Amino acid sequence: FLNPCPSLCTDYTAPPECVPDGPHFDYTYYTTFAQVVGALAGWMGVVLFQTVLSKWHFRSCFWVTTAIRIVASFFDVAIIRRWNTAVGVSDKTSYMLGNAIVFQIVYMLNFMPAVVLTSKLCPKNMEATIYALLAGFQNFGQNVSRNIGTYLIISFGIKTEVPCNFDN
């Protein structure tokens, strides 16, 4: 795989010139191995939802999974702050456990109640059309939020090309 850096670098894939003490994952690991493990973890999240959380109330599902997602995001903080290496855990292991496994399981546990709730909003004999419409609006909202995030990155002067700037 070709590394699309410097234009698409993250703190994980950025070269030493951008993040001197960073993980420096090669793009194959970051986009292939971690994504395959993440997909399997997402599948485990669906199975876990079906076996355990499907019997819960929606509000409880959202609260619990949101709280766990917040905790799981600290794996990223630990990697960037280098806390994992201070205790002897490699970057790849920390990323695989945190972002690729725990975060993806909890993401699916959080996503599934929304899918079920969306399906319950569909009137009889119009399920496919209304579900497609509602899912389309959800996807549109996600794309709008990504675009706003991109705008904010540009507005705050964050640069992923050498000379990099992650200060803001």
Sign of CA dihedral 101, 102, 107, 110: positive
Rounded Cα distance, 115 and 45, in Å: 14
pTM of the model: 0.74
Tokens 């003490």 belong to 21
pLDDT in tens, the chain (168 residues): 344 444 445 667 777 777 777 787 887 888 888 889 999 999 999 999 999 988 898 889 889 888 888 888 888 888 878 898 899 998 888 888 888 899 899 889 888 888 888 888 888 888 899 999 998 998 999 999 999 998 998 899 888 777 777 788
Rounded Cα distance, 58 and 19, in Å: 41
